[in-house]
Structure 1
Amino acid sequence: MRAYKIVFFAVALLFSMALTACSGSDQEANGSEKKEIKIGATAGPYSDQVTEGIKPYLEKKGYKVEVVEFNDYVQPNIALDKGSIDANVFQNELYMKEFAKSRNLDIVEVIKVPTAPIGIYSKKHKSIDEVEEGTTVATSNDPVNQARALIMLQQLGWITLKEGVDPTKASEKDIAKYNKKIVIKPLEPAQLPRALEDVDYSFINGNFAISSGLKLKDAVVLEKTPPHYMIGVTVRGKDKGAQFVKDIIEAYKSEEFKKLNEENEKYEGYVWPDWMK
């Protein structure tokens, strides 16, 4: 009988240990106990925001934070999906949804952040009035950001888009009329600052403009950025409710982060999300 009790308690102990181990694994899997975070961002303003405002806040809460910089709009989402990073901040919601759909990724936006607007830059012209036949205009070749450029071109009166076109999905084939005889040159987003040497005007996303040494005030024209083009923090769908994600959101909503954006002159000209106003 005594031997039976010993065996029984031994089995019970092993079962209890197994449950504890499983519980710990489940907690780690859903991110509730995660204390090391890798946040991906494109080099420039969003990487700076994380390094200067988000990382210090999270480290005070006991996290170890690594900022991983990227130089394009593809790898940050691939890295997030593969688990190489835990969150990224570089893209607007429309781009994120389009990318996720085309690659069958489960990624979601959890908060919008102060955004450097897209702008028209030029090394050859000081205004948008210096347009003549053959004027070259570089735009992003990704569908979402090219649509933004085309809408701006229409607002400037340089082109007319077909009636009824979805402004978030406009492409060159939707141009009904060239009011100015411009030549549009689609390029990789990261190449747009370098194109300034070869074209008359270049539509450059804020992050690439700033990381290349340009300032927002240098733009000939800045976009009035609507909410759907605001940059957001993206995570894997399964992590949306995880504690580390809640803490990242808390860091962005902190007074420390707001103060950073108010007082640091390099963030002058950024568009603030509604929750921050």
Structure 2
Amino acid sequence: MKFHKIISITIILVLSAMLSACSASEKTNAQSDNKKIKIGATAGPYGDQLNEGIKPYLEKKGYEVEIVEFNDYIQPNVALNEGDIDANVFQNYNYLKNFAEERDMDMIELIKVPTAPIGIYSKKHKSIDDVEDGHTVATSNDPVNQARALIMLEQIGWVKLKEGIEPTKASEKDIAEYIKKIVIEPLDPAQTPRALESVDYAFVNGNFAISSGLKLSEAVELEKTPPSYMIGVTLRGEDKDSQLGKDLIEAYQSEEFKKLNEENEKYQGYVWPDWMK
């Protein structure tokens, strides 16, 4: 009996040791995986900033970084919410807030980044002064960026909006008067650069303008971008105080990143967040 008891105790101890070793191994692997991160961005300036300034900085801190490119404004947030990526860089705060509320997602803006402003572009006209009745104007079809375009249309004197509307929620039904008898054509944001072949003017978000080969200097009018429309880094709410969040802030606020934006010609004309000024 004693012999069997000793054997049983020995087996238990061996199994416990094996389980402890497996647990430690899994923990080590989990910690290691935390250094493997994926950051989503739309093609163009924010993906470029990540690849040229942020990824190298994070890699020096021991991260393995993969930049995932998206071609719309929906999937980067869906992927973030589902845990397929760890952060994204493509949207302004107004869009993020609207998107998260509509879909009951917990996402937060971590830090604002240098932003390519939205602009009015044209291949048919050299100035906004060339506008005539019947001219077609392409805008984004997502509510936040269409509101942004409508505010700008009012600022340049093409339309008059109803009194007392919320600027971030303006829609076509809020146009009180067409001062210029333009025809607004809402399109997917990624399609607005291509629309320049057929419309008179198009509002093109900075990232899609640059990724399609347009230069900010070619716009017939650029937005004076307010803080709420500047692009930010987005995380899941649960990661707000994570080490990744702290390291991303450190990377964006680094001298290396600031120097990149100061010296690289392709970033000229961007609107800088207050912390960079």
Which runs of structure 2 are paired with 1:169-188 in the superposition (5 Å)?
A: 169-188=169-188
1:164 maps to which residue? 164
Q: Which string of whole-angstrom CA distances, capped at 9 and with x for unpartnered residues, describes residues 103-143 of structure 1?
A: 11111110100000000000000000111110111000000
TM-score with structure 2 setting the length: 0.91
2:142 maps to which residue? 142
Task: Provide the rounded CA distance (Å) in 2 between the counterparts of 1:156 and 1:276.
Answer: 29
1:78 maps to which residue? 78
Q: What SS is found at the alignment partner of 1:120?
A: strand
Task: Provide the rounded CA distance (Å) in 1 between the counterparts of 2:23 and 2:163.
Answer: 62
2:111 maps to which residue? 111
Deviation at 1:100, TM superposition (A): 1.0
1:154 maps to which residue? 154
Task: Provide the rounded CA distance (Å) in 1 between the counterparts of 2:146 and 2:273.
Answer: 22
Q: What SS is found at the alignment partner of 1:177?
A: strand
Stretches of 4+ moved more than 6 A in 1?
none
Q: Cα RMSD between the aligned structures?
A: 2.5
Contact persistence 1:147–1:167 (CA under 8 A) = yes
Q: 1:214 to 1:167 in 2, by over 3 A?
A: same
Task: Provide the rounded CA distance (Å) in 2 between the counterparts of 1:96 and 1:131.
Answer: 33
Structure 2 stretches lacking a partner, 5+ long: none
Deviation at 1:20, TM superposition (A): 6.0
Deviation at 1:23, TM superposition (A): 9.5
1:190 maps to which residue? 190
1:127 maps to which residue? 127
Number of residue pairs the alignment of both structures matches: 274
Q: What SS is found at the alignment partner of 1:102?
A: helix
Deviation at 1:17, TM superposition (A): 3.0
Task: Provide the rounded CA distance (Å) in 1 between the counterparts of 2:23 and 2:245.
Answer: 24
2:199 maps to which residue? 199
1:62 maps to which residue? 62
1:24 maps to which residue? 27
Q: What SS is found at the alignment partner of 1:79?
A: helix
Deviation at 1:179, TM superposition (A): 0.6
Larger radius of gyration: 2
Task: Provide the rounded CA distance (Å) in 1 between the counterparts of 2:144 and 2:238.
Answer: 26
